[in-house]
């Protein structure tokens, strides 16, 4: 019998420092070289016992905005069994036989549908929180297996830091990131659908080559050379995101004009990411990108940071 009454897990957002995308596979996914980097923008997932006769898994879910603006789309987070965190709790209960139903509460600072993997982060946090709440004691490898079954991006927030994802992004190898990188994220009012962005990519780049890693990026990260990191940032999905949301070009330009070392769309967008020279420079870039028409909000965050952690 568990005596735990609540477990809270803090989990970071990600930005993709390289996103190399191959052609569509038979299963509809794309092979990637996906350099994930965890940034200090955190959701929290709290698991408590649910007062219900339901059996195992999640019996309820609530969500609140952590404040500060970036997660202001929290009303778009599904509060039912379609939520990725709920699905994570259900999967873990099925796999482990855990019987006590739980309630999940999400405190969101990661923008919703912003290409920063907030839903995936919440799923990873739910796995860690439920594993602790139910006292199951699954090891890291088993949690990574379950994460990969939930989505391509769910494994990374379990480990955090900086890592290279291959396959559809779920096969992770840790990478060294020396020093602290300073980021600015420009958030849009509306999200972009990940499958739609991949679909636009297929139309724009028929016959794309197999994805390849970039040794210059990995060397720059290992050396902690922010300027070289900025020069090596790349995202194959960026033209597709720009085709679907042309106004993002102005946001990117505003950041470049403010001296960003790199300016790019994060993952499938529409969040735009900018690398700064320092925390002060990041504040100046944030002020500049806020003036772009598509930018609803700009936040600063450093990276990298650890993955899902019980607090």
Ligand X SMILES: C[C@@](CO)(OP(=O)(O)O)[C@H](O)COP(=O)(O)OP(=O)(O)OC[C@H]1O[C@@H](n2ccc(N)nc2=O)[C@H](O)[C@@H]1O
Ligand Y SMILES: Nc1ncnc2c1ncn2[C@@H]1O[C@H](COP(=O)(O)OP(=O)(O)O)[C@@H](O)[C@H]1O
How many angstroms separate the CA atoms of 20 and 139, rounded? 30
Among 84, 186, 292, 305, binds ligand Y (CB under 6 A): 84
Among 2, 64, 67, 76, binds ligand Y (CB under 6 A): 76
- Specify the stretch interacting with ligand Y by CB under 6 A; choose among 34-42, 80-88, 245-253, 273-281: 80-88
2 touches 303 (CB < 8 A): no
Annotated catalytic residue within 43, 65, 122, 153? 153
Among 17, 77, 261, 273, binds ligand Y (CB under 6 A): 77
The interface with ligand X within residues 235-264 (CB under 6 A) comprises none
Q: How far is the CB of 291 from ligand X (least distance, A)?
A: 25
Q: How far is the CB of 240 from ligand X (least distance, A)?
A: 10
Among 191, 255, 262, 307, binds ligand Y (CB under 6 A): 191
165 binds ligand Y (CB under 6 A): no
How many angstroms separate the CA atoms of 265 and 242, rounded? 8
How many angstroms separate the CA atoms of 188 and 155, rounded? 26
85 binds ligand Y (CB under 6 A): yes
68 binds ligand Y (CB under 6 A): no
Q: Burial code of 150-176, b = ≥16 C-beta within 10 A, e = fewer?
A: bbbbbbbbbbbbbbbbbbbbbbbeebe
18 binds ligand X (CB under 6 A): no
How many angstroms separate the CA atoms of 84 and 90, rounded? 10
The residue among 88, 89, 81, 91 whose CA lies nearest residue 120 is 88
3 touches 132 (CB < 8 A): no
70 binds ligand X (CB under 6 A): no
Q: Which residues contribute to the annotated binding site? A: 111-121
């Amino acid at each position: 019998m568990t005596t735990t009454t609540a477990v809270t897990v803090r989990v970071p957002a990600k930005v993709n420092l390289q996103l190399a995308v191959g052609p569509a596979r038979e299963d509809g996914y794309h092979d990637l070289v996906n350099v994930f980097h965890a940034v200090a923008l955190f959701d929290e997932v709290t698991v408590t016992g649910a007062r219900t006769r339901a059996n195992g898994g999640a019996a309820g879910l609530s969500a609140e905005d952590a404040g500060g603006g970036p997660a202001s789309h929290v009303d778009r987070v599904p509060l039912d069994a379609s939520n990725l965190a709920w699905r994570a709790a259900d999967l873990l209960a099925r796999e482990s036989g855990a019987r006590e139903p739980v309630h999940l509460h999400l405190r969101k600072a990661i923008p919703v549908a912003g290409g920063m993997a907030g839903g995936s982060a919440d799923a990873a946090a739910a796995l860690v929180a439920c594993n602790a709440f139910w006292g199951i004691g699954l090891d890291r490898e088993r949690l990574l297996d379950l994460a990969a079954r939930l989505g391509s991006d769910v494994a990374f927030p379990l480990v955090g830091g900086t890592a290279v994802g291959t396959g559809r992004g779920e096969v992770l190898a840790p990478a060294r990131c020396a020093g602290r990188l300073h980021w600015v994220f420009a958030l849009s009012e509306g999200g972009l659908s990940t499958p739609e962005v991949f679909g636009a990519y297929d139309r724009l780049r028929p016959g794309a080559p197999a994805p390849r890693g970039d040794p210059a990026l990995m060397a720059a990260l290992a050396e902690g050379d922010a300027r070289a990191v900025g020069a090596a940032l790349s995202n194959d999905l960026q033209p597709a995101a720009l085709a679907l949301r042309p106004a993002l070009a102005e946001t990117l330009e505003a950041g470049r004009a403010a001296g960003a070392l790199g300016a790019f769309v994060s993952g499938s967008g529409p969040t735009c990411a900018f690398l700064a020279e320092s925390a002060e420079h990041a504040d100046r870039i944030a002020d500049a990108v806020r003036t772009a028409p598509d930018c609803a909000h700009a936040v600063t965050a450093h990276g990298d940071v650890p993955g899902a952690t019980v607090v």
